[in-house]
Structure 1
Amino acid sequence: MDRTPKIRTYSSCRPLFVEVDQIYHLACPASPIFYKYNSVKTIKTNVIGTLNMLGLAKRLRARILFTSTSEVYGDPLEHPQKETYWGNVNPIGVRSCYDEGKRMAETLMFDYYRQYGIEIRIARIFNTYGQRMNIDDGRVGSNFIAQAIRNEPLTVQLPGTQTRSVCYVSDLVDGLNQLMEGTDAGPINLGNPGEFTMKELAKAVQELINPEVQISEVENTPDDPPQRKPDITKAKEVLGWEPKVNLHEGIPLMEDDFRQRLGVPRT
């Protein structure tokens, strides 16, 4: 479960090569199952780990990109969410190790920018899915696809009307690269503004992968936001970026990858 132990230790952040001009700081579990498993280590990764990476960037005079999250908007009172929105986060909730940790990391990034002149880039990533994702990741995209392949009921958390906007991984990677190579520090939302309810997403997976599979409802987890949709106006204007892969194109690609790793061929 502990996937990012090294950046919490400063000695582990010493570069193997002296010439480093760009640092991509993506460390931190993003699935609620994983980041709530050890909440203290999660927030340490976000805070102490980010401090260590910023120290490395300062020493090397390297540009650093930090992957923040749409979770900084919490249970948003603004929809869709713009980068200027400060959010509505529960600072003592079960998800706060992640969302408040990311908010603190953004603060540290800008403090190092203002105090030391470090070149920073901040991406606020919305829900992402795609190939090579952990099959038992616990997030809705991987859950539904794995369940459909295994012929298990698709478990929709109540009430099922909560929305998410899911972006295919290749689009996200393009956005991160463009942000790093650009001139804007951010934060910049990176996500697909196509918005689906959990019931709609389950039905799309059912239709595309396994029409015979059932859809069942289960209890929700605490602090699950009812709406999440990025406003990507800034990404379009500043980076010239917008997602290209739609849901009905991305799901089959992820299905093929999951089937290969699960050893379950198409019938």
Structure 2
Amino acid sequence: MLFDTHVHLNARQFNEDREEVIRRAKETGVEYMVVVGFDRETIPLAIEIAESHKNIYAAVGWHPVDAIDMEESDLAWLEELSAHPKVVALGEMGLDYHWDKSPKDVQKEVFRKQIALAKKVNMPIIIHNREATNDIVTILKEENAAEVGGIMHCYSGPADIAKQCVDMNFMISLGGPVTFKNAKEPKEVAAAIDLEHLLIETDCPFLAPHPNRGKRNEPAYVKLVAEQIAELKGLSYEEVTAKTTENALKFFGIRN
């Protein structure tokens, strides 16, 4: 049994065959998924998909690339949605210094506001980090995000930072990059972080794992991530799938 903890089935890339993608995932053993909404367009569809499927849940947050577009009414909307029975986390949120749409100071402000909201509603957070590791860790510490904990989504940083995040009550989620032949750091993280602190994901439709790299990613491919982690840790595939699913169910507060 597999739990894909971060999917974007609400992305336009799935508009033509969303139900087929979900069916293929279940046939591969993916019993649970969390659909992540991160703006005014993707959040309602994330909720709709979660409401329509028994073991699919939603996370809602505001992406740092679009931080400049966020208004106070959007934050209030996220607070309202946090009470929805199928919403299990706030996010993805964080910092993205690769794109320059939103100034860094605006991104930081929106990030801090969402952490404060998570503490208010007592809900874990999902962190997006692109080229902003030091600032992410600093803000998580300053805002005492350990109080609610969270997920370092599609983690691709060094193992020592991953260990710092674990110490702050965060899970480390690995995706397709751990299967890439030239991805040194994700492989080191998979080997170094104890299985009880690991989750798996696809981040579909992005970052498809080897040998599907460059193609549209989908939840069924999370099996390839689990297989790679098992190889790197010297464990059986069954051990990795059982424990990462157990971790996710516990983290999101889902009763199996």
Please tell me the TM-score bracket, short chain as reference.
0.3 to 0.5
TM-score calculated relative to the size of structure 1:
0.37
Task: Give 1 or 2: higher helix fraction.
Answer: 2
Higher Cα Rg, which structure:
1
